[in-house]
A and B are shown apart, each in its own frame.
Chain A
Amino acid sequence: MTTEYFNDIGLEKNLHLYKQLVLLRRFEERVYFQYMQGEIPGTLHQYHGQEAVAVGVCDHLSKTDWITSTHRPHGHALAKGVSPRAAMAELYAKATGCCKAKGGSMHLGDPEVGMLPAIAIVGGGNTIVTGLGLAFKMRRSEQVAVCFFGDGATNEGAFHEGLNFAAVQKMPIVFVCENNLYGASTPYHAVSPITDVADRACAYGVPAQIVDGMDVLAVHQAAQEAIASARGGSGPVLLECKTYRYIGHSRSDARHYRTREEEAAWAAKDPIPRLGNMLIESRQVSQSDLDAIEHEIESVLDDAVEFARNSPEPTPEQAVMDIFA
């Protein structure tokens, strides 16, 4: 099925998706490295492993569409079009960051590309996004809002209130749950009596689909239909993307709550070689083409790190500016 979709969307699109996956992955690897060098303050919630979700969904959005994100926003930001420079500088807490160093890792975002500052309160975006949907609907603007959230958010009241209100108002919203099996150290099954988040959508009359979140083409295809439906006025859709974070929840997590076998099983589904192999098997692309993409991304990230390092610190006055408009 994915092979068919691979053929449908054409080489250029597949290469673009591949490049985006590589960008998100290598960005996180670089960020981790620079963090360990002591160049990045604070903590990090990283996106390794989940790239197919952000890439597959955001590829259908234009700059005038909006997303809300979570405490794990680096991948969403890059996929929605925040530049690697502006994102890296924000992580470096520099004045040139996309939020002028006042947002930081957990609040990455940029209204100029249609991303609110990420919301690090679990479930926080699930009510806020209804305001986006309401505004788009009132203005008949044909914009769409996408709300990214984790499995952990589905046990917050906000998840239920947001989904219900979006549904009753037929809002142009796609709710994208990234079910990576854990909320911090807690397995989803330990705190939820159901296996699939998607099952919750029927309580609100919302169509839902379970998607292989390790397959960028599966996400891309599901998101295309969901976004078109929401944009067309049929109301919200929920996508549950089954995925996995390869690294710890945040920087201090030794992952004793899960097995190395489980981690290996998910790593075997990695979205990057999966699409890479399809590209090579299609005979339209060679390994050296893929290597060239790696090199290109590497220089983008070299540039982003240099930019961040050389950028000025925010001036002290900034600490008390931008509180009120």
Chain B
Amino acid sequence: MTQMIDEQQVATQRKLTIAEALREGIAEEMRRDESVFLIGEDIGIEGGFGGAFGVYLGLTDEFGHDRIVDTPISEKVIAGAATGAAMMGMRPIADMQYADFLFECMDELVNQAAKMRYMSGGKVRVPMVMRAPVGATARGAQHGQCPESYFIHVPGLKVVCVSDAYHAKGILKSAVRDDNPVLIFEHKLLYGSKGRASAGGLDLTAYVPEEEYLFPIGKAVIKREGRDVTIVATHISLYRSMQVATELAQAGIECEVIDPITLNPFDKETLFASVQKTGRLVIVHEDTLTGGWGAEVAALVAEHCLFYLEAPIKRVATFDTVLPAAPSLEQVVVPTVERIKATILSLFD
């Protein structure tokens, strides 16, 4: 979809940050459907934060406190109430201030939201969305994890990672309309506009049309086409991979960069077609290595495309460590441009 957008249109039309695009998507869905509501900590308090990353700023003026429910600091209740309300036909969008706090409500997400439909023999639906910010930002061990892999292991949950404004808005709207629990992971360094220094000074705005559109759950996007190696990456790692792709192009290595967007259900078709073309695969994520979602992608490709491979599958992930607080140490453990580049080059020795 993104690739098909006319370049000229892009130049003349408006660009939004992920935070703005999410806000717009949420407001549109709330206008469209009375059953959509927001629930979380510090989201609608007058003079408050509008959510930990300002995504909800201004929404209370339009929708009021009946539809923007400020909770106590009770993550079990946020996830539990969202699950319960969803089963009653509401469409909650729940907010977790940091994805690290999802561990507070693992029961509600994993044992309740994910299983209710099955346990009821298909009689209930759980149309809820849970948004959660991930990513290492010099806040140390408990405010920087990327826990999406815990959730791809759970039958009954859909797991999404958004990395640009266009797809963030489009898939959020699809998630709201989906009749299943959908977790949306967003990277803290990607919310803002002109790119924080730590995000490599990237321009993080993207073209977002005025007209309504949806982007489907379960569909990957090819961010850059190439014939030599497939890179699958999300969030900030996706931008770093794009940078590496640009640099390697000068050395004659053409990288195909895929943003999977949905981790579960995974768009295998796009993945397999790419690997069959390139014969090489590198997966990059900021989640830790062991048992990370990259392992699942590697296994899929090993099972289905082994004989197309010309080199071993490689994963570039955060080392298996607790996240350190020191920025210098943090950069040692997360996937950097240098590490991604070196890993790709090792496949062409």
Identify the A interface with B (CB < 8 A). Answer: 66, 97-103, 107, 109-112, 116-117, 119, 121, 124, 126-136, 138, 157-158, 161-162, 164-165, 168-169, 321-325
Contact = CB atoms under 8 A, between A and B. Distances in A.
Nearest to A162: B77
A165 B71 CA distance: 7
A325 B180 contact: yes
A116 B80 contact: no
Given A128-B112, A162-B80, A324-B180, 10 more contacts: A97-B121, A98-B121, A110-B123, A116-B87, A117-B124, A121-B112, A129-B84, A131-B86, A131-B90, A161-B80
A169 B80 CA distance: 15
Given A127-B77, A131-B82, A138-B67, A99 B121 contact: yes
A261 to B, nearest CB: 38
Interface string B100-116: 00000101100110001
A322 B121 contact: yes
A275 B88 CA distance: 36
Contacts of B87: 111, 116, 128, 131-132
21 contacts: A111-B120, A111-B124, A116-B116, A121-B107, A121-B111, A127-B76, A128-B83, A130-B80, A131-B81, A131-B83, A131-B86, A131-B87, A131-B90, A132-B87, A135-B84, A135-B88, A161-B74, A323-B117, A324-B117, A324-B179, A324-B180
Contacts of B58: none
Interface residues of B, number: 45
Contacts of A107: 119-120
B74 A116 contact: no
Nearest to B113: A128
A278 B124 CA distance: 42
A321 B120 CA distance: 11
Most chain A beta carbons < 10 A, residue from B86, B124, B155, B158? B124
Interface string B53-96: 00000000000001101011010110111111111111010000
A127 B81 contact: yes
A44 to B, nearest CB: 17
Contacts of A103: 119-121
A119 B37 CA distance: 25
A161 B72 contact: yes
B47 interface: no
A140 B97 CA distance: 29
Contacts of B39: 134
Contacts of A131: 80-88, 90, 92
Contacts of A158: 76, 80, 107
Nearest to A171: B81
Contacts of A138: 37, 66-67, 85, 90
A301 B89 CA distance: 34
Given A134-B69, A165-B74, A128 B155 contact: no
Contact of A102 (B69, B108, B118, B156): B118
